[in-house]
Amino acid sequence: MKHRSAIVTGGCGFIGVHCVKRLLEQGHSVLCIDNLSRRGAQANLNWIARDPKRLPGSFNFDQTDIRRFEELENVFRKHVHRHGNPEVVIHQAAQVAVTQSVAQPRIDFETNALGTFNVLEAVRRICPDATIIFASTKKVYGSLESVEVCELDERYEFRTLKTGIPSSHPVDPSTPYGCSKCAADHYMRDYSRIYGLRTLVFRQSCVYGTRQFGEEDQGWVSWFAIAAALRGDINVFGRGKQLRDLLWIDDLLDAYWMAWHSGLPGQVFNIGGGPQNSLSVVELIKLLKELSSDETFNMRVRQFSTRPGDQLVYVSDISELTQKLGWRPKISPRQGVEWLCEWVKRNRAEIEEVALRADDVHDVQDPGFEAVHEMKGESFRESTNVRRADASRGTDYNSNGLCVKGVPVEAQNSNEHVTTRVSQFHRGGSFHRR
């Protein structure tokens, strides 16, 4: 029997591998394209391919870089020749770290903007009837400095936008990452208008779940969960009141599938957990402590001044998805974080192995990263001073500090973190085993 066909770029990343798995479960012949440069990609490839017969679909993998159009086009043509035109192309391949986009903007642009253009051209030339699902980002809206924010005890919130940021909000990217993803976002929409391609753009907030080997500036929920279980030191920038809406991975995939089968082309959606599923950094740390026993909770927090360009608050207005597709998130942050912690505990050995392998992945990029942080030194010092609390209690910071009851917190000099982070960011990140 001939399987239905599908293609997933970045199919060994966190979201991509879940897309591949769902497609295989539904009997598709799936082409997974990934250059395996991301932390955890090889582990996810091993996981999805370890027992091909357990899933009804057909799995095919090609280690191709989307920046190389001729190679990408050739891979598409081979797949179509063998398995037929794909019903869907899910485009997840990307450079996803804001800090790395600042350190190496050319790589960021070539991956996110040019790479997306290459995917669009491959679809236009080879399989124009396929639906294209594109993972965009909340970072297209920039730092949202024009949106008024109020400060509560443990979180910041929008003062007036109670339902969150709608997709009609003006885009204003403020980092190379935001710019490259915004360009890709626009190309997706224009290829729908000009060439009639069936594109769907999802400007995603904080998606989290299993198979996410988080890093400090990308995948922060899993990063914290892993640190809590593996005796990690976590770096918190600013007061820890930064707020995000969280979306469990299966809820995201439900939205993808509903949009794909809706027949609505050229749509742009903001997607996240919405206001009802938001957590601040401090609230997440408290939840992790609550879900852990005293013996298993090993996180220690190190506090630094605010990073330039960080959004104090980002919450998605998901009402358009609800109105057009009937979609709502089903999994609460508490339930999702609990599942995530259980996955970390069950897969501790694999997670530790991934962290060790990260030593060899991106070392070549450290000099550029160091140069950026030397250049940004003044910005890192712009926050008000934070005094050191009694680490045994972890309480009673002043109004500019971070207070998480029962969690050791150490105030750090931002200049020290410049050096520390350079040597460790691409070698398993900057939570440190004690």
DSSP state, 197?
Answer: -
- Please check whether residue 421 is in contact with residue 429, taking contact to mean a CB–CB distance below 8 angstroms: no
Q: Which residues contact 230 (CB under 8 A, 6 or more apart)?
A: 298, 344, 348, 351, 352, 431, 433
Q: Tell me the C-alpha distance between 323 and 28, whole Å.
A: 29
DSSP H or E segment with residue 59:
strand 58-62
Q: From the candidates 141, 156, 177, 397, which is the catalytic residue?
A: 177
Measure the CA dihedral 343/345/347/349, to 10°: 160
Q: Which of 36-48 are b and which e, b meaning 16 or more Cβ less than 10 Å from the residue's Cβ? A: ebbbbbbbbbebb
177 noted as active-site residue: yes
Instruction: Note whether 16 and 10 are within 8 A (CB).
Output: yes
The per-residue b/e assignment along 310-328, b for 16 or more CB within 10 angstroms, e otherwise, is ebbbbbbbbebbeeebebe
CA-wise closest residue to 155 among 307, 302, 314, 319:
314
Single-letter amino acid, residue 280: S
- 3-state SS, residue 1: coil
CB atoms within 10 A of CB 105: 18
d(CA 405, CA 163) in angstroms, rounded, equals 30
* Pairing mode of beta strands 278-280, 243-248: antiparallel
HSE-up of 65 (CA within 13 Å, CB side)?
9
Query: Quick one: residue 208, left, alpha or beta (phi over 0 = left, psi -120 to 50 = alpha)?
Result: beta
Q: How far apart are the first and last CA of the chain?
A: 54
In angstroms, the CA 275 to CA 245 distance is 6
| Catalytic machinery residues | 177
